[in-house]
A = this chain, B = another copy of it.
Amino acid sequence: MMKVLIVEDDPLHRSYLHEAVNAALPECDTVIEAENGTVGEKLARDHKSAHIVMDLQMASRNGIEAARTIWKERPETRILFWSNYSDEAYVRGVSRIVPDGAAYGYVLKSASDERLKLALRSIFIESQCVIDREVRGLQQKSLGQTNGFTDSEYEILVDIALGLTDRAIAKRRGLSLRSVQNRLQQLYDKLDVYQSAGDDHEDGRFNLRARAVTVAFLRKLLNYSALERAEAELQEWLDGK
């Protein structure tokens, strides 16, 4: 007997998932649905759900937040993330919250029926991690170093994206002013903010700090959800003086 919880905004996708679960998991006898992260968390708690399919980006409370609190309460929960996009921001967000040894998956909505069903079985039955090929690529790149970003670089990227001053960042991260600026420089370097600036004449130069954020956005290193989470963390920190 197995129970599966589906957390997904869009009614169409929700019913599609429902069918997919029924088809892929005959051993599953009950499927419950939640239409956003908040009720998702609640249902997971009430039903002690061990098998969850979760959409990222939902209006009320996004999948990453929901997954975090769920995993905090029951780290052995198996969660399959089912998302439209493979932004590095999402991938980073997810891999930062998955508990040690937990089984989880990440498949794109553009994947075929087969892939989805296979992933469902692999994760829920075999407790095996299944990460979409495309997503996998990002993961490699971001954890390895090649053309990817260090955690500290990513951290400072988020900080300037939030609009903190150098001084504020220094205080927050426990660094000196100069160190913060060092990190900024290497960030600018990696994001290629210089070349796009007016190379020869100072005709159309960019504001490096602002440009870096934009470039990061355009490259999907950042997205709305990541900003939202970072902002929440920031407020938390501000309140805690």
Contact residues of A with B, CB < 8 Å? Answer: 10, 12-13, 16, 109, 160-165, 167-168, 171-172, 193, 202-215, 217-218, 223-224, 227-228, 231, 238
Cβ-defined contact, A168 with B231, below 8 A: no
Cβ-defined contact, B109 with A167, below 8 A: no
Q: Which of B109, B227, B238 interacts with A218 by CB under 8 Å? A: B227
A205-B167 contact, Cβ under 8 Å, with A213-B213, A227-B214 = yes
- What would 6 A/B residue contacts be, using CB atoms closer than 8 Å? A12-B12, A163-B212, A163-B215, A164-B210, A214-B231, A218-B228
Cβ-defined contact, B207 with A164, below 8 A: yes
Q: Within the assembled complex, what's the spacing in Å between the Cα atoms of A16 and B109?
A: 16
Q: Within the assembled complex, what's the spacing in Å between the Cα atoms of A11 and B10?
A: 13
A109: B residues at CB distance < 8 A: 10
A171: B residues at CB distance < 8 A: 203-204
Cβ-defined contact, B206 with A164, below 8 A: yes
Shortest distance in angstroms between A158's beta carbon and chain B's nearest beta carbon? Answer: 10
* Contacts beyond the supplied A161-B210, A163-B207, A168-B203: 20 A-B pairs with Cβ under 8 Å: A10-B109, A160-B210, A162-B210, A163-B209, A163-B212, A163-B213, A163-B214, A164-B204, A165-B205, A165-B206, A165-B207, A168-B204, A168-B205, A171-B203, A209-B210, A210-B210, A217-B224, A218-B227, A218-B228, A218-B231
Shortest distance in angstroms between A92's beta carbon and chain B's nearest beta carbon? Answer: 17
Q: Within the assembled complex, what's the spacing in Å between the Cα atoms of A228 and B218?
A: 7
Cβ-defined contact, B203 with A163, below 8 A: no
Shortest distance in angstroms between A33's beta carbon and chain B's nearest beta carbon? Answer: 16
Q: Within the assembled complex, what's the spacing in Å between the Cα atoms of A26 and B16?
A: 27
A211-B163 contact, Cβ under 8 Å, with A204-B238, A217-B227, A227-B218 = yes
Shortest distance in angstroms between A83's beta carbon and chain B's nearest beta carbon? Answer: 13
Q: Which residue of B lies closest to A204 (CB)?
A: B168
Q: Which residue of B lies closest to A205 (CB)?
A: B165
A210: B residues at CB distance < 8 A: 160-164, 209-210, 213
Shortest distance in angstroms between A32's beta carbon and chain B's nearest beta carbon? Answer: 21
Cβ-defined contact, A161 with B214, below 8 A: yes
Q: Within the assembled complex, what's the spacing in Å between the Cα atoms of A210 and B163?
A: 5
A164: B residues at CB distance < 8 A: 204, 206-207, 210
Shortest distance in angstroms between A30's beta carbon and chain B's nearest beta carbon? Answer: 24
